[in-house]
Amino acid sequence: MNRKREKGSQESTSRALGQIGLLLKKAQLRDKNLGEALRVISEYLAASSSALFRLKQDDKPECSQIENIGSWPLADMNSLSLESMFIADSAWSDLKKRKIIHSHPVSKIPGHQPDFFFLPLFLDDHLSCIIISIGPERNRLTGEVREFLEGAISLFELWLSKMNLAKKFDDLINFLPYAMIGLDTHGNVTVWNSAVEQMTGCKGSRILGKGNYEYALPFYGIRRPAMCDLILHPDPRWLATYTEYRQEGDVVHSSIFTPALGGTGAFVTSITGRMRDLNGRVYGSLHMVRDVTQERQMENKLQSSESMFKAITDYAGLGIALFQKGTALYCNDQFGRLLGISGREIGLSDLVEAVDTEDRKEIQSRLESLSQGTEEGPLRLDLNLKVGNRHRNYSSYSQVLGYGGHPTICFVLDDTTEQKELAKKVRLNELKMYHEGRLTSLGIMAAGIAHELNQPINTIRVATDGFLFGRDEGWSLDVDEFYEGMEMISSQVRRISEVIRNIRNFARGDLEQEFEDVDVNRTIENVFSMIGRQFEAHGITVHKKLTNVLPSVKAHANQLEQVIMNLLVNARQALDGCNHGRKELWITTNKNTQSVYIEVIDNAIGIPDHSIDKIFDPFFTTKEVGQGTGLGLTISKSIIRELNGTIEVFNNKLGGATFLITLPTLGETK
């Protein structure tokens, strides 16, 4: 009979523990299943009620709060509290030692004293919860009851471990900055973290536990399978809607446009994985989503800017490269074309080796100094490079930039071969134009030159004819008179030679004449030696006021003579066209600390107001047809500008025009 009764008790204990296990398998905090599990404990112990209390830790380990998280009867869930019971300090010590406390008195409950059970529940070796059961006095902590309570404690601790693991998983998922969605194999939402709430504006309480593609609505505006579902149940039709799809085992990388996200749609990328349990069985999927709309826009803008930059630089013919430790970090196509290199990486050594041998060491040294910071940039160099079998001219600009923590040379290369050849041709044409202008001036002053030469020739003729006439008449030769005549003839010959030399120098075609130190006063006298007699022949009074000891200027002597001659001839022609009786011309020189001034002044009729701003324009002239080409003043201004000087014109108070030339005496000319 005792064995039969003992066997029945064991079956009763096993059945009660089995019920508790099944109920806890589905139980959550404060729900019906948890209350039912506590009911089974109460019925087994014949207790009137049972409750589960949690010890909530504060940030300080020594502080804790006691919270009721489940009870039976359910209506009394909030009525039982540890504050209504008395627990001695010694009882807390026993609980922390995993001891079950039995028949502890409750001071604030009037009447009889029922049995009182405290069951400690541990989590990670810390006292986590306490189950309290209050029952009739007849219950004692027998071996059978102890076995049941220890079994119940183990089941509740397993349930706590499960709940704790779920809590840690939720905390981890919500901590992640990426939107996370989880599904079970039936398509029900199991994970909807804070990041996806922020992304979609949809709270997890509305989505969690739901199926029928509820998760797709915030993204697509319709119910449709997304990758978190397709990885579990593939469908080729829906997989084709993804712009990117790459699978590696249980993980899929994908991209798609979600038309409903954010109201205007967004591009998202995702990493989706099949989740497996300990036995390898797939129990669901986890889907991580990132909104890459702004990244896509920035990437498109960057690609567009890069394409535009490349197109502009290539169209402009500029080669651009970034060199770090001699290796090109970036090199546009044009840079390779300018060096004649294609199909391989370009280094700084390729550029240096293409430089002419005589300049190579200097260029390499200066580039090394630039990268080491011993030479201050930017560095501008004119390079002669051998490209293939041809030598070409390049201008370059290089500067050191800080890139990636290392000195980086930015190198810009421009092919100037054609420009230099064209500039040379332009220079030759310009010099030819100057020369033709001088010849034109010679033609205009031909009459004056003839008069300049006729006078000394007539003097020589008179002297020689006198000697010949005396010989024919038989006069005796006076030696002193003879030598005096010879000296006069020699003086006139020297005068003729000087005029011819000045004319030859003025008219010569030396196109490569170098700058030299020029005496401005001497230049003016040379011009008057050639055309000075013209002014007398035209009834023009010339006033020369040349300042003594003028500083020299850097110039082409013949070109400066051409400018002065152009101005004097123009003044003579203007005076020829006026009707007043006294025709006068002044030419003066002056100086200050940095400049020399030349003024040509006449008292003719001046320049009309509507023409004065055009006077230096090519082919513009105020003269009659056939009297001028309109290039004299244009050439003059070009010559003066080449000397870093200026030429100005204005009407003066005498009724005529004044031309003012200013030439520098300091600094370099072009």
Any domain includes 550: yes
State which residues form the domain around 110. 2-171
**Quick one: pLDDT at residue 620?**
56
Taking only the tens place, the pLDDT of each residue in 185-214 is 999 999 998 889 888 888 988 999 999 999
Where is 664: in which H helix or E strand? strand 657-664
Distance CA 219, CA 196 (A): 11
What's the full length of the chain, in residues?
670
**Quick one: pLDDT at residue 459?**
66
Any domain includes 501: yes
Q: Are residues 42 and 70 in the same domain?
A: yes
Taking only the tens place, the pLDDT of each residue in 627-639 is 555 567 777 888 8
Taking only the tens place, the pLDDT of each residue in 140-151 is 677 788 888 899
Any domain includes 261: yes
Q: Are residues 238 and 368 in the same domain?
A: no
Q: How many domains would you assign to the chain?
A: 4
Any domain includes 299: no
**Quick one: pLDDT at residue 445?**
52
Q: Are residues 78 and 162 in the same domain?
A: yes
Q: Are residues 335 and 274 in the same domain?
A: no
Q: Are residues 404 and 439 in the same domain?
A: no
Any domain includes 420: no
Quick one: residue 655, left, alpha or beta (phi over 0 = left, psi -120 to 50 = alpha)?
A: left
Beta-carbon contacts of residue 150 (< 8 Å; ≥ 6 apart): 100
Q: Are residues 394 and 248 in the same domain?
A: no
175 vs 356, higher pLDDT: 175
Taking only the tens place, the pLDDT of each residue in 489-509 is 776 676 666 666 656 555 554
> Which domain CATH number covers 83?
3.30.450.40
**Quick one: pLDDT at residue 112?**
52
**Quick one: pLDDT at residue 377?**
66
Radius of gyration of the chain (CA): 56
**Quick one: pLDDT at residue 412?**
81
280 vs 320, higher pLDDT: 280
The residue to which tokens 């123009």 are assigned: 570
269 vs 442, higher pLDDT: 269
Q: Is the pLDDT of residue 86 over 70?
A: no
Quick one: residue 633, left, alpha or beta (phi over 0 = left, psi -120 to 50 = alpha)?
A: alpha
Any domain includes 342: yes
352 SS3 class: helix
**Quick one: pLDDT at residue 38?**
92
**Quick one: pLDDT at residue 7?**
55
Question: Which one of 171, 192, 208 terminates a domain?
Answer: 171
**Quick one: pLDDT at residue 506?**
54
Q: Are residues 337 and 468 in the same domain?
A: no
**Quick one: pLDDT at residue 548?**
87
Percent of the chain with pLDDT over 70: 75
Q: Are residues 646 and 577 in the same domain?
A: yes
Question: Which one of 241, 266, 291 terminates a domain?
Answer: 291
pTM of the model: 0.47
Distance CA 270, CA 241 (A): 14
**Quick one: pLDDT at residue 444?**
53
37 vs 461, higher pLDDT: 37
User: Which pLDDT band holds residue 33 (cuts at 50, 70, 90)?
Assistant: very high
User: Which pLDDT band holds residue 111 (cuts at 50, 70, 90)?
Assistant: low
Lowest model confidence (mean pLDDT) among 4-13, 68-77, 645-654 = 4-13
Q: Are residues 313 and 401 in the same domain?
A: yes
User: Which pLDDT band holds residue 581 (cuts at 50, 70, 90)?
Assistant: confident
Average pLDDT over residues 98-125: 71
What DSSP assignment string belongs to 128-172? Answer: EEEEEEEE-TT----HHHHHHHHHHHHHHHHHHHHHHHHHHHHHH
Contact in structure between 100 and 146 (CB atoms under 8 Å)? yes
Q: What is the DSSP letter of 187?
A: S
**Quick one: pLDDT at residue 287?**
92
**3-state class percentages of the chain: helix first, strand second, coil last, to nearest 5:** 45, 25, 30
Q: Are residues 191 and 63 in the same domain?
A: no
**Quick one: pLDDT at residue 438?**
55
Across the chain, mean pLDDT equals 78
Average pLDDT over residues 335-340: 76
User: Which pLDDT band holds residue 4 (cuts at 50, 70, 90)?
Assistant: very low
**Quick one: pLDDT at residue 597?**
92
Question: Which one of 259, 291, 323 terminates a domain?
Answer: 291
**Quick one: pLDDT at residue 430?**
59
Any domain includes 623: yes
Q: Is the pLDDT of residue 656 over 80?
A: yes
Q: Is the pLDDT of residue 1 over 50?
A: no
User: Which pLDDT band holds residue 270 (cuts at 50, 70, 90)?
Assistant: very high
Where is 481: in which H helix or E strand? helix 479-507
Q: Tokens for 131?
A: 């189950």
What are the helix and strand counts (H, E) for the chain?
A: 19, 23
Lowest model confidence (mean pLDDT) among 4-13, 225-234, 410-419 = 4-13
In sequence order, the β-bridge partners of residue 160 are none
376 vs 647, higher pLDDT: 647
Taking only the tens place, the pLDDT of each residue in 274-310 is 999 888 899 999 999 998 888 877 877 877 777 777 7
> Which domain CATH number covers 221?
3.30.450.20
> Which domain CATH number covers 609?
3.30.565.10
Lowest model confidence (mean pLDDT) among 289-303, 316-330, 519-533, 558-572 = 316-330
Q: Most confidently modeled of 239-243, 329-333, 531-535? A: 239-243
User: Which pLDDT band holds residue 565 (cuts at 50, 70, 90)?
Assistant: confident
Where is 541: in which H helix or E strand? strand 540-546
Average pLDDT over residues 87-110: 68
Contact in structure between 177 and 195 (CB atoms under 8 Å)? yes
Q: Are residues 464 and 579 in the same domain?
A: yes
Which is it for strands 583-591 and 540-546: parallel, antiparallel or unpaired?
parallel
**Quick one: pLDDT at residue 105?**
54
Any domain includes 423: no
Q: Most confidently modeled of 86-100, 152-166, 289-303, 508-522? A: 152-166
Burial classification of residue 147, based on how many CB atoms lie within 10 Å of its CB (0-12 exposed, 13-18 middle, 19 or more buried): middle
Q: Is the pLDDT of residue 488 over 70?
A: no
Q: Is the pLDDT of residue 23 over 70?
A: yes
Burial classification of residue 84, based on how many CB atoms lie within 10 Å of its CB (0-12 exposed, 13-18 middle, 19 or more buried): exposed
Lowest model confidence (mean pLDDT) among 351-355, 496-500, 658-662 = 496-500
Phi and psi for 440 in degrees, rounded to 5? -60, -45
Q: Are residues 530 and 409 in the same domain?
A: no
